């Protein structure tokens, strides 16, 4: 498809209303970009390094949703603009930032909150594990056996909890994780790319629904009865 004409062509911030406003070189550049994108779409799974290099000359940042975290690492290395993780197999940071904003608006502060996770040890949980302790929040996570979070991320979460004086615990019992939680968090059991595992996962995650029972366990943990319990 040829080489990008980054040094000669600047399209950032320009409207495309009619081709009379563009030089032949600029139109050639757009054709090259179109051909390259078309090629990439036909070859899904490849890291779109060329696209990011091109976009670096046209935009201020790139939000990328990818399958592999390693692809984002490559893009960040090659791009001259910030790369924002819109979703990867390991992390989903902007989702957690949105959740934290909701909690901050509701509670006024994040410090001291206990986050109860019930579900898959996936990218959402990983992002919580990489950040909660830094805000002074505790984590109680419950996942089915065989669906625990990444071991390396668990080690980092334990380290962050120790450094920040917070608690991090993991269990296979959903009600244990719900006990004392300020917020119950869950996510889909079948993430992008796991469609073929649907039947197996639905069986493995039975009992991991965030039900009213889990909510009541969370709410009543600190319950102190006013009346003396009768003798039954």
Q: 13-63 pLDDT, tens per residue? A: 788 888 788 887 888 788 877 877 777 666 555 566 777 777 788 888 889
Please give the Cα distance from 68 to 136 (Å, whole number): 29
Note the pLDDT of residue 127. Answer: 95
Can you give the pLDDT at residue 219?
58
pLDDT band with cut points at 50, 70 and 90 for residue 116: very high
The CATH number assigned to the domain holding 117 equals 3.40.50.1370
The answer to whether residue 1 scores a pLDDT higher than 70 is no
Question: Same domain for 116 and 212?
Answer: yes
| Neighbouring C-beta atoms of residue 160, cutoff 10 Å | 18
For residues 125 and 182, state if they share a domain.
Answer: yes
Whether 223 shows a pLDDT value over 90: the answer reads no
pTM metric for this prediction: 0.72
Partners of 63 in beta bridges: 84
- Per-residue confidence band for 228, with pLDDT thresholds at 50, 70 and 90: very low
Statement: residue 229 has pLDDT above 70? no
Residue ending a domain, among 47, 63, 87, is: 87
pLDDT digits (tens, 9 = 90+) for 153-203: 999 999 999 999 999 999 999 989 989 899 999 887 777 676 787 888 888
69-90 pLDDT, tens digit each: 999 999 898 888 899 999 999 9
Residues 79 and 185 placed together within one structural domain of the fold: no
Whether 66 maps to a domain, the answer reads: yes
What pLDDT score does 134 carry?
95
Model confidence band, residue 226 (pLDDT cutoffs 50, 70, 90)? very low
Of 63, 87, 111, which closes a domain? 87
pLDDT of residue 231: 45
Do 63 and 147 lie in one domain? The reply is no
Answer whether residue 217 shows pLDDT above 70: no
CA distance 44 to 67: 11
Q: What is the pLDDT of residue 157?
A: 97
82 and 141 together in one domain: no
Residue 228 lies in a domain: no
Of 87, 114, 144, at which residue does a domain stop?
87
Q: Is residue 232 part of a domain?
A: no
Give the domain range for residue 119. Answer: 93-219
For residue 52, what are the CA distances in angstroms to 5, 81, 90, 163? Answer: 14, 9, 21, 37
């Amino acid at each position: 498809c040829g080489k990008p004409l980054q040094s000669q062509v600047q399209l950032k911030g320009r409207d495309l209303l009619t081709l009379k406003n563009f030089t032949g070189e600029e139109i050639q550049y757009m054709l090259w970009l179109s051909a390259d994108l078309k090629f990439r779409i036909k070859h899904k799974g490849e890291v779109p390094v060329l696209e990011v290099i091109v976009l670096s000359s046209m935009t201020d940042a790139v939000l990328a949703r990818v399958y592999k975290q390693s692809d984002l690492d490559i893009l960040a290395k090659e791009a001259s603009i910030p790369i924002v993780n819109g979703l990867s197999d390991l992390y989903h940071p902007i989702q957690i930032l949105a959740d934290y904003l909701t909690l901050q608006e509701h509670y006024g502060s994040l410090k001291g909150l206990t986050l109860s996770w019930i579900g898959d040890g996936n990218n959402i949980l990983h992002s919580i594990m990489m950040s909660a302790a830094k805000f002074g929040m505790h984590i109680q996570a419950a996942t089915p056996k065989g669906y625990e979070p990444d071991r390396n991320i668990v080690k980092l979460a334990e380290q962050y909890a120790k450094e920040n004086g917070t608690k991090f615990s993991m269990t296979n019992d959903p009600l244990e994780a719900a006990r004392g939680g300020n917020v119950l968090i869950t996510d889909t059991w079948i993430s992008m790319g796991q469609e073929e595992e649907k039947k197996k996962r639905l069986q493995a995650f039975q009992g991991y629904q965030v039900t009213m029972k889990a909510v009541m366990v969370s709410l009543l943990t600190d319950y102190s009865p006013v009346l003396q319990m009768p003798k039954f």
